[in-house]
Copies of this chain bind each other. A is one copy, B any other.
Amino acid sequence: MPRAAKHQRGAKLRSAAFSRIRSDHQSELAEDYVELIADLIDERGEARGTDVAMRLGVANATVVKTLKRLQDAGLVTQEPYRAIFLTGEGWKMAEDGRRKHRIVEGFLLALGVSEETARIDSEGIEHHVSEETLRAMARFLARNGR
């Protein structure tokens, strides 16, 4: 039996976690964009590309390019030099992002970390928690949250 085949089976199982990470990373940016656009619309009535760029801390040109992809993906609509709107699917993704974000951030606070850490860490963690873990966090939160 060839050397490389020897451990193929065990490896196949283990690689599932890394596949998940790669897939999470693909949706991650889209989720943060739509959630941020939803926040801007709610807070200020409209979302401009510049505001998105400022809140994300990236260049304007980067946002323009990313929004084009999100438009192709059916998440946002926009016309040149105008504000950005979310499609139905975009709002759905934004709401789901907010839900996860709220649970993760509240959970971290209930666990005893500072507000700033909860805010920062939850921005990354939210994209890598399964529904099962979210349920466990919500359960903990119901018992120990404020």
Contacts and interface: CB of A to CB of B under 8 A. Distances in A.
Nearest to A132: B117
B8 A54 contact: yes
Question: Chain A contact residues: over half helix, strand or loop, or mixed?
Answer: helix
Contact of A136 (B51, B112, B129): B112
A7 B54 CA distance: 9
B17 A123 contact: yes
A125 B125 CA distance: 6
Interface in A19-66: 19-21, 24-25, 28, 32, 44, 48, 50-51, 54-58
A57 to B, nearest CB: 3
A55 B14 contact: yes
Contact of A121 (B51, B57, B117, B133): B133
A57 B54 CA distance: 36
A57 B12 CA distance: 7
Given A123-B17, A128-B124, A139-B112, A50 B4 contact: yes
A20 B123 contact: yes
Given A20-B123, A32-B18, A133-B108, A51 B11 contact: yes
A89 to B, nearest CB: 23
A24 B21 CA distance: 13
